[in-house]
Chain A
Amino acid sequence: MPDNRLCISADSHVVESAEFFEPLQAMFGDRAPKVVTPDPALGPKLDLGNGTLGISISGLLQQNIDFTSPEGRESLKLGYELARPGCYDTSERLKDQEIDGLDAEVLYPSVLFNVYQLDDLDIVKATFRLYNDWVADYCKEQPTRLFPLASVQMFDLDEAIVEMERAKGLGHVGLSIAATAPPDHLYTDPWYDKFWAAAQDLKMPLNMHIFTGATPNHGLAPRDSSSRANGPMSFAGVGMTVADVIQSGVVERFPDLKFVVTEFETGWIAHVLKRLDWGYVRGGGERTFGLPRLPSSYWRSNFYATFEDDPLGIMTRDFIGVDTLMWGNDYPHGDSVFPNSKQVLSEILSDCTPEERWKMTVKNVVELYDLPFKLEGPDQANANHLPIPEVKTWRNSLPLPEVSVATPTK
């Protein structure tokens, strides 16, 4: 593509290697998180050192594979062997960016998600410091194409602020904080104010990625284990975080603070904002909430959300605000759209204006993280130079799913 065209993923990943965790052994012995393979059929997982196991590492490396197919299940056994070379070699990674039509990626961790739920705070701090150094080194090799986010715990705020400053110095463009707070210490609590103030001063956006809740239930209600609903409905947890942050006035007190809701897709946002606005208006507005503006207005000035291929967020984008949406490809995870990003973008953004496509694939992410790209207008977005397909074939492009099975007897 011509040199000036851009497409940036606001949600990509590194997958921490088994060796990454090894220094923790010397510090914490048996309590240290480490990669183990208790069941070869499921492949490696993170042993959290507290008797629980994390998510499957193979799933974090299986992009473009049907998890449920026999091949998918077979490949679970392979673990790190599934990794594309680009996962650990940044010059290989740039080749994958080119295959997928990308120019840059904002990087989140992967295996670390489960560390957010560990009780032992010293282990969490040490693991996150180790990660922040490790991923900074990785990204430093490609300083105009890879941009890391630092992991920070929120139980010891003085340490969190020190680590945030250190991360800023290392070149991190923002922080990953827990997507849902502990139930006895929600983000509504002004106790967090000194952290919010520091993040605002340092211009560090606060990113909340799916599966990084501070508790194992990720902010959802306690439920009988027979329920399978928690996975698909996980946005309900972060929806409460958004409500808490807005309603408690955090972004009113810290008007330059930015929050990012990552990989929860976007079809829920308009509804949540609509209902929060309704609750505000019905509940007394400024007089009783202490907030001079509608909740949706705070969303549009202080929040962002990432999506891969959610048509519902696009259908309701006028209400959400196109300035708050950023696309990401989720490379190299199992849910990733790699290497089909160009097809996804051409289909899912087909009804959008050139200006809207530019905002969601270039402008918003560059401005939010202050990335080193010069903004030149809609023509700059590679998404505006993709052919718009006559027939949409991507998995989530179709607004109306087909009814595929015979109607049951009625």
Chain B
Amino acid sequence: MGKPLCISSDSHIVESVEFFEPLAKLFGDRAPHVVTADPAKGPQLDLGNGKLGIGLSGFLMANVDFASGEAAKLAPRGYDLARPGCYDTVERLKDQDLDGIDGEVIYPSILFNVYQIDDIEIVKASFRLYNDWIADYCKEQPDRLFALAAIQLYDLDDAIIEMARAKAMGHVGVCIPATAPPDRLYSDPWYDKFWAAAQDMNMSLNMHVFTGATDNHGLPPAMKSGGYALASCGVMFTCADVIQSGVCERFPNIKFVVTEFETGWIANMLKRLDWGYVRGGGARTQGIPMKPSEYWRRYFMATFEDDDLGIMTRSYIGTNTLMWGNDYPHGDSVFPHSQKVLTEVLADCTPEERYEMTVKNVVELYNLPYKLEGPDQARLNQKAVSA
């Protein structure tokens, strides 16, 4: 038996100020750059179009209560909050060890807001820059850090070229917008050549919370108060569009990943889609031969940190579609308490299910360099045995 494993399928890099600097040469004032517009809030990305992105400090406040006075004191400090592991991969492995983690799949952070920029040349250049930068970072720890590339979906020829370039650099998948523009949903066959290329390259399509193609992230524009809490209501429509329009039927080796939207909404979405399918005429009228939930269980994955509702309804969702992640080093992260969280939230699961959600699914999906050895391999099951 090899070493015990616990892999985070949702971790992050937080792009540095310097990361954005080459863009200023290319685009001048229009280039996204880090500014401190309000010292009380700390630094934010100036998107170059008059808008400001999410507060950077929040991306670096693992294990801090946002609601506390402490958080308000910390917010002005920006990058000073970063754990050394954010930029030094040797230090990062120490944080992995501290959290009982053996490998991480890495998403961007500040780049989330770049997905909503209208100037496509700026988006392409930012993403190419990122894809190089994050590949270099992960290359230092090729058995412990696995990068995902950021890709725009307005110019599909460029997207396919960039995806191929990312594949060659060692990226294990690509991050596409979690919600499409409302006038060009993923149900549009216009995207087919991109889906075909992703399938051919075995590149999974990852859709992280806050990476919508538009500012409203697929939610009603008037919605005042629910955006953070009800973000799943945006990506839910993406899943429905992809499934109902037959994307997975046409591209049977494609994989979509829904990241950090938690999982308590999935069973209900599948139940309602199945009901709509059955009531709406099924295969005869809906253009797909299987029920929507069956496509989910073959073509979709979702990550969670600590959502007990997804676990309660897992028999309906399918444990082969769920992957755990710690969200390091973000403000919502469960670091450094991952083992405690997993022990609690997966308490009712079988050893096989724990293994699926913390090791097997993520290794198989991204073809990570670990040999799969069965439930005993899951660090979580070993802890449970020894405890």
Contact = CB atoms under 8 A, between A and B. Distances in A.
Contact of B224 (A67, A244, A282, A283): A244
Interface stretch (B6-14, B40-48, B260-268): B260-268
A168 interface: no
A227 B237 contact: yes
A237 B220 contact: yes
B240 A240 contact: no
B225 interface: yes
Nearest to A248: B225
Contacts of A183: 220-222
Contact of A335 (B183, B216, B226, B279): B279
Interface residues of B, number: 69
Interface string B236-268: 110011001100010011000000001011011
Interface stretch (A46-54, A114-122, A348-356, A397-405): A397-405
Contact of B285 (A68, A219, A237, A285): A68
B182 A284 contact: no
A2 interface: no
B125 interface: no
Contacts of A288: 67
Given A243-B225, A282-B66, A235 B252 contact: no
Given A221-B220, A247-B226, A405-B294, A233 B236 contact: yes
Contact of A67 (B185, B216, B219, B279): B279
Contacts of B183: 224
A91 B183 CA distance: 52
A231 B276 CA distance: 7
Interface in A263-303: 265, 267-268, 270-272, 274-276, 278-279, 281-285, 287-288
B321 interface: no
A240 B226 CA distance: 6
B309 interface: yes
A265 B284 CA distance: 26
A399 B224 contact: no
Given A221-B234, A399-B316, A409-B252, A310 B271 contact: yes
Interface in B268-290: 268-269, 271-276, 278-282, 284-286, 289-290
Interface stretch (A194-202, A311-319, A339-347): A311-319
Nearest to B272: A232
Given A224-B188, A268-B268, A274 B273 contact: no
Given A231-B276, A240-B233, A287-B67, A226 B185 contact: yes
B109 to A, nearest CB: 17
B244 A229 contact: yes
Contacts of A186: 222-224
B224 A276 contact: no
B219 A221 contact: yes
A335 B223 CA distance: 29
A166 to B, nearest CB: 31
Interface string B288-328: 01110110011000000001010011011000000000000
Given A270-B309, A275-B262, A243 B275 contact: no
A374 interface: no
Contacts of A221: 182, 216, 218-221, 234, 237
Most central of B262, B275, B307 by chain A CB within 10 Å: B275
A282 B58 CA distance: 11
Contacts of B245: 226, 228
Given A271-B268, A312-B316, A279 B229 contact: yes
Given A227-B187, A265-B272, A409-B252, A316 B312 contact: yes
Nearest to A319: B309
Nearest to A242: B226
A401 B274 contact: yes
Nearest to B66: A282
Given A226-B185, A408-B298, A312 B226 contact: no
Interface in B174-211: 182-185, 187-188
A229 B273 CA distance: 8
A287 B69 CA distance: 11
Contacts of B384: none
B230 A315 contact: no
Contacts of B228: 279, 282-283
A275 B240 contact: no
Contact of A283 (B67, B188, B272, B294): B67
Given A231-B276, A270-B309, A271-B264, A68 B229 contact: no
A86 interface: no
Contact of A243 (B226, B267, B298, B307): B226
Contact of A272 (B224, B230, B253): B230
A276 B271 contact: no
A271 B237 contact: no
Interface in A228-265: 228-229, 231-233, 235-237, 239-240, 243-244, 247-248, 265
B316 A400 contact: yes
A299 to B, nearest CB: 13
A348 to B, nearest CB: 13
B237 A233 contact: yes
A273 to B, nearest CB: 9
B361 interface: no
A220 to B, nearest CB: 6
Contacts of A229: 236-237, 240-241, 244, 273
Shortest 4 CB-CB contacts between residues of A and residues of B:
A183-B222, A267-B268, A271-B264, A229-B240
Given A224-B187, A240-B230, 8 more contacts: A67-B280, A227-B187, A233-B269, A236-B237, A240-B219, A240-B220, A274-B262, A311-B271
28 contacts: A67-B280, A186-B222, A186-B223, A227-B240, A228-B240, A228-B276, A232-B269, A233-B236, A233-B237, A233-B240, A240-B226, A240-B233, A247-B226, A268-B265, A268-B268, A271-B268, A274-B264, A276-B226, A279-B228, A281-B67, A283-B228, A285-B67, A311-B271, A312-B267, A312-B313, A399-B315, A399-B316, A404-B290
